[in-house]
Amino acid sequence: MSKSESSSQKAFFARIEILNRRIQEAKKHGLYPYMHSSDAVDGVHITVQGQSLLQFSSYSYLDLLGHPKINAAAKKALEEFGTGTHGVRFLTGTTRIHVELEKKIASFKKTEDAIALSTGYGANSGTISALLGRNDIVISDKVNHASIVDGCILSRAHFVRFEHNDMESLEKALAEAPKKGTKLVVADAVFSMDGDIVNLPEVIRLCRKFKALLMIDEAHSLGVLGKKGTGIEEHFGIDPAEGLIDIKMGTLSKTIPSIGGYIAGNTKLINYLRHSIRPYIFSASLPPASAAAAKTAFEVIEEETWRVKKLHENMSYFLKTLHVSGFDTLNSQSPIVPIIIGNDTKALEMTRLAKNEGIFIVPILPPAVQPNTTRIRTTVTAGHSLQEIERAVNVFAKIAKSLGILRP
């Protein structure tokens, strides 16, 4: 580094250096838990360096990854269209399969129309920034996903955060918002780090009272909540036909074993978004094989109703056994179950020891979560057996006791 470098340049290089040192240090001690290159993966297992592990970190909530009907649909589309489209959706990248996928999403979510994008990230960031501008107000739950936060920042709207799932805080934010401009409230349906569920009835009531639009991110509730797995409205017994959620966002990369994101809503809104979401207009289209896989996955959810039932049974059993063992799982009511460790080194050590016992889990450290809430973020799927769940919880409890996380 030359002497003439300013202090901000030094700080810039120091940041890079510090992170690199932390990574090297963790790798040296066998504690680096990220970016494993796996040889095989499904909703229950993962093979890493020849070792097949039972995994409790998959988003394949209904265990649809590798489903024969979904694979067959992807293969057929691959043979028909090849591996990509060489185009953005807006220009040359829309195939018959994309249109069919959007119709399927709209019918599953009971909306007039839907738009499919190449990522959920783009669906959130692109939609919020397309809808709002400098004179508008966006009010977002404090622990919403990063793609929502980035959309809020990109929009240049007045950006307010309310305390996590705290309805008094939301009401205060709405009441204090400038009177002029469009107000948009946005929240995850199931919060991706904590696994708790948004208080939708109250959020809807407040949005109506203060004439705010509502956008809900169903990345982790699609296929998960409600008896049929249709999501957050079904969970609360709200009729989608009432149109109480203006903008319904979801991903095609979690329960749906593909890639992509969608926005479902009324015809005029979706038509507007088709002509204004930047990731839709300026970024390449979702590959036809991925679109075909996604469309077929919605059909499988409707046909194989046992999957949602089994997921709900597994969720209850997993939470119950973790609580009996003495773990703090915050207020999780979903397949995402945080096991609070509160200490980064212990969380990394727990991850390593669990792998030695044949169980694959991932730790989540600050800044992704609040300091002192370092956790192992576990997920359970419809593919796990009750015996596998029990085995995993026994392993977690044994390790947690050995590390002083739980009392012996």
Nearest residue to 216 (alpha-carbon basis) of 194, 237, 201:
201
State the minimum distance, in angstroms, from the CB of residue 362 to ligand PLP: 12
- Please count the residues of this chain forming the interface with ligand PLP, following the rule CB under 6 A: 14
Nearest residue to 53 (alpha-carbon basis) of 395, 397, 374:
395
Binding mask 211-230 for ligand PLP (x = CB under 6 A): ------x-xx----------
Q: Which of 56, 61, 108, 121 binds ligand PLP (CB under 6 A)?
A: 121
Q: Which of 58, 124, 129, 290 binds ligand PLP (CB under 6 A)?
A: 124
Contact between 335 and ligand PLP per CB under 6 A: no
Query: Which residues are annotated as catalytic?
Result: 192, 220, 254
Give the CA angle between residues 133, 138, 139 to the nearest 5°: 175
Which class for 68: exposed (0-12), middle (13-18), buried (19 or more C-beta within 10 A)?
A: exposed
Cβ(304)–Cβ(67) below 8 Å: no
Contact between 188 and ligand PLP per CB under 6 A: yes
Measured from the CB atom, the residue of 280 and 349 that comes closer to ligand PLP is 280
DSSP H stretches of helix in 156-284: 167-176, 200-209, 232-236, 267-274, 278-282
Nearest residue to 332 (alpha-carbon basis) of 216, 224, 207:
224
Shortest Cβ contact with ligand PLP: which residue?
120
Among the listed ranges 119-127, 197-205, 278-286, 311-319, the one in contact with ligand PLP (CB under 6 A) is 119-127
State the minimum distance, in angstroms, from the CB of residue 396 to ligand PLP: 23
Nearest residue to 251 (alpha-carbon basis) of 127, 116, 113:
116
| Site of tokens 């934010």 | 173
Measured from the CB atom, the residue of 191 and 321 that comes closer to ligand PLP is 191
State the minimum distance, in angstroms, from the CB of residue 65 to ligand PLP: 14
State the minimum distance, in angstroms, from the CB of residue 194 to ligand PLP: 11
Contact between 119 and ligand PLP per CB under 6 A: yes
Contact between 196 and ligand PLP per CB under 6 A: no
- Give, in order, the Cα–Cα distances in Å from 62 to each of 43, 305, 382: 8, 10, 5
Contact between 67 and ligand PLP per CB under 6 A: no
Binding mask 350-379 for ligand PLP (x = CB under 6 A): ------------------------------
Binding mask 144-183 for ligand PLP (x = CB under 6 A): -x-x------------------------------------
Give the C-alpha separation, 196 to 202, whole Å.
Answer: 15
- Give, in order, the Cα–Cα distances in Å from 347 to each of 53, 216, 329, 357, 398: 18, 31, 14, 15, 14
State the minimum distance, in angstroms, from the CB of residue 115 to ligand PLP: 14
Give the C-alpha separation, 275 to 184, whole Å.
Answer: 20
Cβ(234)–Cβ(218) below 8 Å: no
Residues 231-290 that bind ligand PLP (CB under 6 A): 251, 253, 261
Q: Is residue 100 classed as helix, strand or coil in its secondary structure?
A: helix
Contact between 120 and ligand PLP per CB under 6 A: yes
Binding-site ranges for ligand PLP (CB under 6 A)? 119-121, 124, 145, 147, 188, 192, 217, 219-220, 251, 253, 261
